[in-house]
Amino acid sequence: RKSARLGVMYLDFDRFKLVNDTLGHEAGDLLLIQAAGRMKSCLRAGDTVARLSGDEFVVLLSELHETSDAGLVARKLLDQLNRPFDLNGQEAFISASLGAAVFPEDGLDAATLLRHADQAMYHSKEMGRNGFHFYQLEMGLRASGLQALEKELRGALARREFFLLYQPKVFLHSGQISGFEALLRWRHPQRGVVGPDEFVSILEETGMIVEVGAWVLQTVAEQIVSWQSEDLTVPRVAVNLSARQFSSEHLDTR
Q: Which residues of 20-29 are buried (b: 16+ CB within 10 A; e: fewer)?
A: beebeeebbe
| Cα separation, 30 vs 55, whole angstroms | 12
Which CA distances in Å does 243 have to 210, 221, 248?
A: 9, 20, 9
| Cα separation, 214 vs 99, whole angstroms | 36
Spatial strand order of the sheet with 132-134 comes to 48-53, 56-61, 6-13, 96-103, 132-134
CA nearest 11: which of 121, 119, 125? 121
Which CA distances in Å does 14 have to 10, 42, 86, 97, 239?
A: 13, 20, 18, 7, 29
Phi, psi (rounded to 5 degrees) for 87: -110, 90
| Cα separation, 16 vs 21, whole angstroms | 9
Task: Choose, from 14, 47, 55, 118, the residue flagged as catalytic.
Answer: 55
In terms of DSSP bridges, do strands 177-188 and 236-239 run parallel, antiparallel, or are they unpaired? parallel
55 as an active site residue: the answer is: yes
Q: Cite the active site residues.
A: 55
